């Protein structure tokens, strides 16, 4: 049973460039989440999907950020015109809600550095 996988693990980009992160959730999980984490802070919710439907986006998510999950399996998070403030670890997580709860499992994260 493979866990949540993210690619790339590290990305250094110049300010103004676009970047895209990919997430492959645990295979039977229908929910997929994106979080962002900066140093010394807890993960901050960005958006989540149930199957291919994007059900919620954080108000913190600017128009430069877009996420997709076209076939209800993998997901991509794109950041356009990156800014230095976008530097963070982007975490993907997945879950399959059951009666015993909605346990959310995180991937290893994708580190973004904007220079």
Partner 1 sequence: QQPVQSPQAVILREGEDAVINCSSSKALYSVHWYRQKHGEAPVFLMILLKGGEQKGHDKISASFNEKKQQSSLYLTASQLSYSGTYFCGTEIAGTDKLIFGTGTRLQVFP
Residue ranges in contact with partner 1 by CB under 8 A: 31, 33, 35, 40-45, 48, 50, 55-56, 91, 97, 100-109
Smallest separation, CB 16 to partner 1 (Å): 27
Output the CA–CA distances (angstroms, integers) from residue 45 to 14, 40, 60, 92, in the order listed: 25, 16, 9, 10
User: Between 80 and 108, whose beta carbon lies closer to partner 1?
Assistant: 108
Q: Which is nearer to partner 1, 34 or 79 (CB)?
A: 34
d(CA 77, CA 23): 8
Write down the least CB distance from residue 59 to partner 1, Å: 12
Could you tell me the smallest distance in angstroms from the CB atom of residue 15 to partner 1? Answer: 24
User: CA-CA distance, 96 to 23, in Å (whole number)?
Assistant: 16
108 phi-psi bin (left φ>0, alpha ψ -120 to 50, beta other):
alpha
Contact predicate 26/1, CB 8 Å:
yes
Smaller CB separation from partner 1, 19 or 23? 23
| Shortest separation between residue 81's beta carbon and partner 1, angstroms | 27
Bridge-based pairing state of the strands 10-13 and 110-114: parallel
Q: 14 vs 42, which CB is nearer to partner 1? A: 42
């Amino acid at each position: 049973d493979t866990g949540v996988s993210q690619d790339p693990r590290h990305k250094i980009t110049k300010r103004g460039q676009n970047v895209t992160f990919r997430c492959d959730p645990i295979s039977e999980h229908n929910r997929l989440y994106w979080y962002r984490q900066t140093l010394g802070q807890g993960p901050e919710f960005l958006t989540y999907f149930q199957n291919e439907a994007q059900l919620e986006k954080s108000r913190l998510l600017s128009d430069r950020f877009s996420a997709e999950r076209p076939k209800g399996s993998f997901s991509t998070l794109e950041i356009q015109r990156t800014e230095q403030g976008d530097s963070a670890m982007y975490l993907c997580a997945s879950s399959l809600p059951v009666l015993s709860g909605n346990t959310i499992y995180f991937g290893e994260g994708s580190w973004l550095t904007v220079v």
